[in-house]
DNA sequence: ACGCTAATGGAAACCGTTGTCAGATTCACC
DNA sequence: GGTGAATCTGACAACGGTTTCCATTAGCGT
């Protein structure tokens, strides 16, 4: 029977025809995929563990790009992509245990998330994206720090000394407000922490006191949140000449807020983003572009080719500073160290 | 053993602790999800059959919205979402058979796609989105036709008689060119066909000869393709006063092409879209908004609640005409019936 | 007609879990 | 000490395929 479906060459066409015909007559719907998986020890799917906040992921074009790349890699290999339902509030790790998959990709998850721990307990290969490396686990990530450095250098060379930062959430607990230094250095979202650290290093290197640079955090990742963050930032620090956002979405919001205030970008205010999403490119945002599609694809391929390898791999993808029409010298040149 | 993991209340905490501790010591990774699925006859996942062209889906914010809604519904129910790898060229229906899922959602698939047929053969509940209804199958869809009618009416009342249309692909075979009437009426993508038919009906009703209205098709669904379609359209029919696009993405491209030509929107050219994606709203595009998130959510809930019902359901979601800053009366009023 | 080989069909083991059920053990209480 | 309830243990039969292995048969040469 099994042969009739899976190995047409192993039996006579006549018998095969008869078997299939009888099967149809009896209303047999074809081999059960679950039973097949059990026997063959192949689920034919890879699991994707996303942020515990799903909408967060789907609203961010950068995340969607990763998803697309991963889906493409899976499609190439003919395996399914299983989105694990990681519920926000409850620590519903059961979903991770219940997922019938041959491996996991973990993306955009805080490093203290119990779901991540549950994934690592499963006896299947795992690839993590944009996370701090974990002993023995494959990893794909951009060289964020390098690009951030170039961005900061760009702003410094333009003459900006009074800057403000808008970033995405740094931990699982909501904090729609200014960020303390402690929270910055203890951030559980690796990407955000890396970017902030790189900014701090670059500006400190240029003689700017990083402790004096205001950083505003937003839990949700929407254009509106970017706008409200910019409002909060500019209300408290009107002397700021450049708003650095850790994502393009937030930067779009900052642009909107600038317009609302009658500030011209870039003449009155410089705004920069991160990620290099299509819409940003369309409006000429100065940003750091990273190959999100490649990131997903690479992770997928890495996962699907594991088993052939033994030593865990780390792949670093290139990022690129893209100068747009939203960055220019500050509106007035102030004394470098004492402005305010 | 099973009890220790699944029914903590059936045995003493002490025993449970001991069992789990022993399990860990022996390196037991927890119950195998596949075997569990086989036994319980619940896969804990729903399958999603998307277009055979994955990038197509991920690049379209409207599709992503549906995906998000569906994912949210799944998350609520604690089940996974399994993206079925429907390979473009090859008729790799096997992936549908291999998917261990409790049901399927079918979205944006041409009505003659073999994957769709394969899904219908599987003995699990199915919900289809934006497709012509199929006997005995649940369905979720917008009342596209009504909204399209209102959009056409809006353009007619503004005075537009010389219009052109840019639409997404109508069949699985590529045709990046003008569309013949036969191809229009025989379109395999239900949504596109419905929209074209509704436009035809509305404009015919206003005395415009639909056979004389140029329709340009694009296989890929990108802003650039929208631009190239607009170029092709306006090169051949410079007298056109309004470009009607069957998606916002295409409309964004048409806007870009208009700008490239030095045409002011809406003074020189009216451009309209479809779907109501966020970016369209941001730039004030006149479009038809449909609740994409709700569409996905509804489909998910419908699927997950099936089994409780017997009669198949059809749910129609409301759409809404949103007037933006991209539609205005034509640049010159020409004689209604003989222009050109 | 006989023996050997190759092809083919069918039976049985196995994948790892859950659910059931009978029997053993413990414990409290009369 | 006996009884009953509560708890624990162990065995075993599905679930529905795949795979291995063996027996049968067909084909062929001598």
Mean model confidence pLDDT for chain B = 91
Q: Which residues of A touch B33 (CB under 8 A)?
A: 97-101
Chain A nearest C-alpha distance from B87 (Å): 6
Q: Do residue B98 and residue A33 have CB atoms under 8 angstroms apart?
A: yes
Do A123 and B79 make contact, defined as CB atoms within 8 angstroms? no
Task: Nearest chain B residue to A123 by CA: give it.
Answer: B29
Q: Compute the average pLDDT of residues A12-32.
A: 75
Nearest to B131 by CA among B184, B189, B185, B85: B189
B2 pLDDT above the threshold of 90: no
pLDDT > 70 in chain B, percent: 93
Protein residues in reach of strand C (CB < 7 A) = A 11-12, 15, 35, 38-39, 41; B 1-2, 5-6, 30-32, 35-36, 38-40
**Closest residue to C14 by CA to C1' distance?**
A39
Per-residue pLDDT for A335 more than 60? no
pTM, full prediction: 0.91
pLDDT of B92 over the 90 cut: no
**What local confidence, expressed as pLDDT, does residue A336 receive?**
46
Average pLDDT value for residue range A189-214? 95
Average pLDDT over residues B120-143: 92
Give the closest-approach CA distance of B45 to chain A in angstroms.
8
CB A222 within 8 A of CB A253: yes
Mutate to test the interface with A, among B20, B24, B33, B54 (most CBs of A within 10 A): B33
A254-285 exposure pattern, b = at least 16 Cβ within 10 A, e = fewer: bbbbbeeeebebbeebbbbbbbbbebbeebeb
Tell me which of A157-171, B84-98, B123-137 is least confident: B84-98
Contact A58 B36 (CB under 8 A): no
Convert the pLDDT of each residue in B36-58 to its tens digit.
Answer: 999 999 999 999 998 767 878 89
Mean pLDDT, chain A, whole residue set: 90
In this complex, the nucleotide whose C1' atom is nearest to the CA atom of residue A3 is: D18
Record: contact A30-B97, CB cut-off 8 A:
yes
Contact call for residues B46 and B103 (beta carbons, < 8 A):
yes
Distance B223 CA to C14 C1' (A): 55
Closest residue to D16 (CA to C1') is A35
Q: What percent of chain A has pLDDT over 90?
A: 76
Answer yes or no: is pLDDT of B180 > 80.
yes
Q: What is the mean pLDDT of residues B307-322?
A: 87
- Whether B335 shows a pLDDT value over 80: the answer reads no
Whether the predicted pLDDT of B339 surpasses 50:
no
Q: Give, as ranges, the nucleotides of chain C with any atom within 7 Å of a protein CB.
A: 8-9, 14-19
Are A104 and A128 in contact by the 8 Å Cβ rule? The answer is no
pLDDT score at A339? 40
**Do B243 and B233 contact (CB within 8 A), yes or no?**
yes
Strand partners, A80: A45
Instruction: Tell me the nearest-neighbour CA distance from A86 into chain B, angstroms.
Output: 7
Sheet of A215-218: strands edge to edge? A215-218, A163-168, A242-245, A270-272
- CA nearest B56 in A: which residue? A68
Looking at residue A338, its pLDDT comes to 42
**B13 CA to D5 C1', in Å?**
19
Helix and strand totals (H; E) in chain B: 14, 12
Chain B: residue nearest A65 by CA? B58
* 8 Å CB contact of A33 and B99: yes
Please tell me the distance in Å from A85's CA to the nearest CA on chain B: 5
Residue of A nearest to B279 (CA): A279
DSSP state of B334: P
Peptide bond into A310 cis (omega under 30): no
List, as one string, the DSSP characters of B52-100. S-HHHHHH-HHHHHHHHHHHHHHHHHT-EEEE----SSS--THHHHH--
Establish how many alpha carbons lie within 13 A of residue A321's alpha carbon, considering only the half-sphere containing its beta carbon.
14
The pLDDT of residue B338 is above 50: no
- Nearest Cα of chain A lies from the Cα of B150 at a distance, in angstroms, of 29
**Residue A330 burial (CB count, 10 A):** 23
Q: Is the pLDDT of residue B252 over 70?
A: yes
Residue numbers in A near B68 (CB within 8 A): 54-55, 58-59
Q: Once rounded to an integer, what is the mean pLDDT over residues A286-315?
A: 91
Query: Do residue A83 and residue B87 have CB atoms under 8 angstroms apart?
Result: no
Listed as ranges, the nucleotides of chain D within 7 A of a protein C-beta are: 7-9, 14-19
pLDDT at residue A23 tops 90: no
Read off the pLDDT band of B13 (50, 70, 90). confident
Residue B8 CA to residue B2 CA, distance in Å, equals 10
Task: Specify whether the CB–CB gap between A102 and A127 falls below 8 A.
Answer: no
Q: What is the per-residue pLDDT for B334?
A: 47
Mutate to test the interface with B, among A54, A75, A86, A91 (most CBs of B within 10 A): A75
Nearest residue in chain B measured CA to CA from A83? B81
């Amino acid at each position: 029977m099994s042969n009739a479906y899976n190995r047409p060459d192993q039996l006579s066409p006549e018998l095969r025809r008869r078997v299939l015909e009888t099967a149809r007559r009896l209303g047999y719907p074809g081999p059960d995929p679950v039973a097949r998986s059990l026997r063959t020890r192949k689920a034919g799917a890879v699991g994707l563990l996303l942020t515990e906040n799903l909408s967060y992921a789907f609203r961010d074009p950068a995340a969607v790009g990763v998803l697309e790349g991963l889906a493409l890699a899976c499609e190439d290999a003919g395996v399914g992509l299983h989105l694990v339902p990681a519920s926000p509030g409850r620590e519903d790790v059961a979903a991770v245990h219940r997922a019938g998959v041959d491996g996991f990709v973990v993306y955009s998850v805080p490093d203290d998330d119990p779901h991540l721990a549950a994934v690592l307990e499963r006896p299947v290969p795992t690839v993590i994206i944009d996370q701090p490396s974990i002993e023995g686990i494959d990893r794909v990530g951009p060289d964020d720090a390098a690009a951030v450095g170039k961005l900061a250098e760009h702003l410094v060379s333009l003459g900006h000394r009074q800057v403000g930062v808008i970033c995405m959430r740094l931990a699982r607990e909501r904090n729609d407000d200014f960020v303390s230094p402690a929270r910055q250095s203890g951030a559980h979202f690796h990407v955000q922490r890396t970017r902030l650290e790189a900014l701090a290093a670059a500006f400190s290197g240029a003689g700017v006191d990083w402790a004096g640079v205001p950083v505003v955090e937003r839990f949700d990742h929407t254009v509106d949140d970017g706008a409200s963050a910019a409002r909060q930032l500019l209300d408290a620090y009107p002397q700021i000449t450049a708003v650095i956002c850790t994502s393009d979405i937030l930067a779009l919001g900052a642009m909107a807020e600038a317009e609302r205030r009658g500030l011209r970008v870039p003449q009155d205010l410089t705004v920069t983003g991160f990620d290099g999403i299509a819409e940003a490119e369309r409006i000429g945002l100065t940003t750091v572009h990273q190959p999100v599609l490649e990131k997903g694809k690479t992770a997928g391929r890495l996962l699907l080719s594991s088993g052939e390898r033994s030593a865990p791999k780390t792949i670093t993808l290139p990022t690129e500073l893209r100068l747009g029409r939203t960055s220019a010298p500050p509106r007035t040149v102030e004394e470098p160290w004492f402005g305010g």
